[in-house]
Amino acid sequence: MSYRLILSKPAVKALRSLPAFVTARIAPAIDALKEEPRPAGCKKLKGNEELWRIRVGDYRVIYVIDDVVRVVDVRRIGNRRDVYQ
């Protein structure tokens, strides 16, 4: 059974502001979270028990998984040097 995907307003804004070639790589990775919210290479962020991240080149997708209601909530998308701030 798949998860429902929710993108926060800051995540949508960040995705729209990225160059097309970067969006073309990130969009399928985000879409794949519906089927597998914990793909190979994902990590739980330290300091916050609910946040996870996946890497897509130099970009990171920060998200929360709610297994009870089967929702993946994408909170932030950005370059690795900026997204953790």
CATH of the domain at 63: 3.30.2310.20
**Residue 85 included in any domain:** no
Tally the domains of the chain. Answer: 1
Q: State the residue range of the domain holding 44.
A: 4-79
- pLDDT for residue 1 is more than 80: no
Question: Above 90 in pLDDT, residue 82?
Answer: no
pLDDT at 48: 83
Average of per-residue pLDDT values in the chain: 94
Helix or strand (DSSP H, E) at 70: none
Residue 46 lies in a domain: yes
75 pLDDT above the threshold of 80: yes
First to last CA, the chain: 34
> Is residue 31 domain-resident?
yes
Q: What is the DSSP letter of 85?
A: -
pTM: 0.92
Answer whether residue 25 is part of any domain: yes
